[in-house]
Amino acid sequence: MNRSVSGTLSIPALLMTLVATFLAAWLTLGVFGRSDQLIYLWPLTGLQLGLLLPLWQRDWASVLARQAAGAAGLIAGATVAGLPPGIAVMLGLINACEVFLCGWIVSPAVVTFDDLKERTHVLRFGIAAIVAPVIMGSIAAIPVAPVTHQSFLHVATTSVLSDALGIVIIMPVVLFLTSGEYRTFKKLRPYLLRAILTGIAFVVTAVYVFWQNQNPLLYIVFPPMVIMVLAMGLEGAVFSGVVLTIVGGTATSLHHGPLWLAVNASAEHRMVLLQLFLIVSVVTALPVGALLDERRREARSADEARSIYQTLLQNAEDTIILSSFDGTRRYISPAIKTLTGWTPAEFLAMDRMQTFHPDDRDMARLVMESMASGKRQHVIRYRIAQKEGGYRWVEAVARAYFDETSDTVLGYVGTIRDISSLKQTEEIWQMERETLTREKLAMARLANTDALTVLPNRRAFDDALLRQLSRAAAVSVMMIDVDFFKAYNDLYGHQAGDDCLRQIAQALQSKVGRGGDVVARLGGEEFGVLLPGADADGARRVAESMRNAIWELDIPHQSSPLGRITISIGIANWADIREHDTALLIQQADRALYVSKRAGKNRVTIAGAMPVAV
């Protein structure tokens, strides 16, 4: 329990506590009774407790200061009333301890009057009103019994009863006057007529019962008390307790009322019976009043929540639907009219599946079966029917709800949102994505394609060769060069040179047919061929077919000793490309090409099985 040990001490509050306890002690002991007689009602504990509880959790210094002021006021009042100073001091200390014990039991549950409007808090209050008086009243009887010349048991009994009665009567009154919701006229005004009528009826009944001596009519007060409690709740219970205490105590002390019908009973015995009657009446009325107020508060909260819920449903843009799987419970919010054109009643009258597009009904059945089998939530998109014809795209979030006792799935609650505009946007985005993808692929092809020959370019050739690194297979690489091509360009012109290269590219491409084979233009008149999985003999056969294909093109070339366009080819082959550097493989093929050139051109040369470093 966290309490502040410091706070602002209010001098007026301390003086008020001092004066109030002084007057209460003086009036109780000196005016309405004598210090050597029965104390009918001991108000000091209830008075101080009602003043201190609002501070109990937030200002511990003020609590201690007010307790000290209360003890001082009690000691002064008891002394003025005629008690010996020593006894008065002891009573003051005992009363301070009792206030602390009560506060410790009641706090932190009860700080204001409205805190008593809960059954558990009333129970704590009832325990405090019994335990504290029993303990401290018994202790107080030790010094008081010799002074009053009465037995310890008699003094303890009367002290406990008067103390308990004072707590249950006075503390709620003080809390009501300091923090009650209806202590102001503005708050009480709507209930004023009802309070006045029931209050008058109860007061009249109580006065009649306690001022007549002919019949034992104590039970007559209970019907109007019940009406008071029903009409005013806890406030009615507190009011009825105060009225019964004042009327019953005054009448009984003046020898009036049904308690005087007891034969051979002393006045003190009758007062003890009255105290018991009052305690039982108040202890019965307070929990009933608290229960009624608790139920009314819960009902108000439920009404407010229902009102908020209805307001949200009426104004929500999304449609909210509740449906049991057996169709016995169905609800749909008014937003369905905006969504579909049907009113809620019209929509609920339709077969559930008829609201789905025919192509979406199988999906809807699967979702419902899934929820019925225990899956708690689904998010689906479907087309909902329109009153004017056609369908509209919506998104529904459906959550299963369960029976609290058996955990059986009973139905689902869903929210339906119009996503037709979102769907159109998504379709546009999808078309744009597809267009961008096509453009990206086209750009990728352009970036990897030689514009003149439409063969893969050097980048594509290198990428294909790198991909071979991840494969455990043989590979052959050809480097091809057009013989005397510079002289051809000089003699026939660049346009003829471009046409010549295109014909060569087509001829080379026609001689490979496997999916992994690559024929690429590496630049100028140089071509490269990649033959994955081909050994040296296989590569030679392909190379010879390519050389013959170019020869058979019979493209005239007067600057060539052979009189036509020819090519020279160098081949490099490795059994496992992962064991070598691809750059060395290309270099080996280049060296073989150089050998073909040096040997007279128009020929094929295969490099050694292992590359030789340059």
Do the domain assignments include residue 289? yes
- Report yes or no: 494 and 561 within 8 Å, Cβ to Cβ: no
Alpha helices in 119-266 (DSSP H): 119-148, 152-179, 185-188, 192-211, 222-232, 234-253
Please check the confidence at residue 466 and state whether its pLDDT lies above 90: no
Mean predicted confidence (pLDDT) in 384-407 = 87
What is the reported pLDDT for 141? Answer: 82
Please check the confidence at residue 478 and state whether its pLDDT lies above 90: yes
Instruction: Mark whether 38 and 92 lie in a shared domain.
Output: yes
Do the domain assignments include residue 489? yes
Instruction: Mark whether 215 and 68 lie in a shared domain.
Output: no
Do the domain assignments include residue 431? no
- Report yes or no: 261 and 213 within 8 Å, Cβ to Cβ: yes
User: How many domains is the chain partitioned into structurally?
Assistant: 4
Token pair belonging to 448: 């990897």
* 147 Cβ contact partners less than 8 Å away, ≥ 6 residues apart: 35, 36, 83, 84, 87
User: Could you give the CA distance from residue 205 to residue 442 in angstroms, rounded to a whole number?
Assistant: 102
Please check the confidence at residue 444 and state whether its pLDDT lies above 80: no
User: Left if phi > 0, otherwise alpha if psi is -120 to 50, otherwise beta: which for 256?
Assistant: beta
Instruction: Mark whether 201 and 255 lie in a shared domain.
Output: yes
For residue 38, the tally of other CB atoms under 10 A from its CB is: 21
Do the domain assignments include residue 287? yes
Please check the confidence at residue 35 and state whether its pLDDT lies above 70: no
Do the domain assignments include residue 447? no
- Is 525 labeled as catalytic in the residue annotation? yes
Q: Which of 399, 419, 439 is the last residue of a domain?
A: 419
Q: How many CA atoms lie within 13 A of 26 on its CB side?
A: 13
> Could you read off the pLDDT of 426-441 as tens digits, one per residue?
888 888 888 887 878 7
Please check the confidence at residue 73 and state whether its pLDDT lies above 70: yes
User: Left if phi > 0, otherwise alpha if psi is -120 to 50, otherwise beta: which for 389?
Assistant: left
Residue among 433, 437, 457, 461 nearest 446 (CA): 457
What is the reported pLDDT for 329? Answer: 67
Instruction: Mark whether 186 and 303 lie in a shared domain.
Output: yes
Mean predicted confidence (pLDDT) in 577-593 = 80
Mean predicted confidence (pLDDT) in 198-227 = 91
Instruction: Mark whether 576 and 479 lie in a shared domain.
Output: yes
Do the domain assignments include residue 74? yes
Interior angle at CA 460, CA 511 and CA 583, nearest 5: 95
- Among residues 98, 525, 544, 552, the one annotated as catalytic is 525
CATH number for position 466: 3.30.70.270
User: Could you give the CA distance from residue 532 to residue 27 in angstroms, rounded to a whole number?
Assistant: 117
Residue 441 to residues 426, 435, 447: CA-CA distances in angstroms? Answer: 22, 10, 10
User: Could you give the CA distance from residue 255 to residue 591 in angstroms, rounded to a whole number?
Assistant: 139
Instruction: Mark whether 14 and 69 lie in a shared domain.
Output: yes
Mean predicted confidence (pLDDT) in 327-346 = 85
Please check the confidence at residue 36 and state whether its pLDDT lies above 50: no
Q: What element of type H or E holds 563?
A: none
Instruction: Mark whether 214 and 284 lie in a shared domain.
Output: yes
Mean predicted confidence (pLDDT) in 580-590 = 83
- Report yes or no: 61 and 9 within 8 Å, Cβ to Cβ: yes
The parent domain of residue 364 ranges over 319-419
* 209 Cβ contact partners less than 8 Å away, ≥ 6 residues apart: 217, 218, 220, 221, 257, 258
C-alpha torsion 385→389→393→398, nearest 10:
-10
Do the domain assignments include residue 613? no
What is the reported pLDDT for 612? Answer: 32
If pLDDT is split at 50, 70 and 90, which confidence band does 613 have? Answer: very low
- Indicate the DSSP class of residue 356: B
Instruction: Mark whether 271 and 359 lie in a shared domain.
Output: no
Please check the confidence at residue 24 and state whether its pLDDT lies above 90: no
Instruction: Mark whether 341 and 481 lie in a shared domain.
Output: no
If pLDDT is split at 50, 70 and 90, which confidence band does 610 have? Answer: very low
Please check the confidence at residue 298 and state whether its pLDDT lies above 70: yes
Token pair belonging to 391: 């369908």
pTM of the complete model: 0.56
Max Cα-Cα span within the chain: 159
Instruction: Mark whether 528 and 567 lie in a shared domain.
Output: yes
Q: Which of 133, 162, 180 is the last residue of a domain?
A: 180
Q: What is the mean pLDDT of the chain?
A: 84
Instruction: Mark whether 33 and 163 lie in a shared domain.
Output: yes
Q: Which of 135, 163, 180 is the last residue of a domain?
A: 180
Do the domain assignments include residue 66? yes
Q: What element of type H or E holds 216?
A: none
> Could you read off the pLDDT of 84-105 as tens digits, one per residue?
888 888 888 888 888 889 989 9
Mean predicted confidence (pLDDT) in 254-260 = 88
CATH number for position 381: 3.30.450.20
Mean predicted confidence (pLDDT) in 77-85 = 84
What is the reported pLDDT for 606? Answer: 92
Instruction: Mark whether 143 and 210 lie in a shared domain.
Output: no
What is the reported pLDDT for 521? Answer: 93
Q: What percent of the chain has pLDDT over 90?
A: 26
Residue among 540, 566, 542, 563 nearest 552 (CA): 566
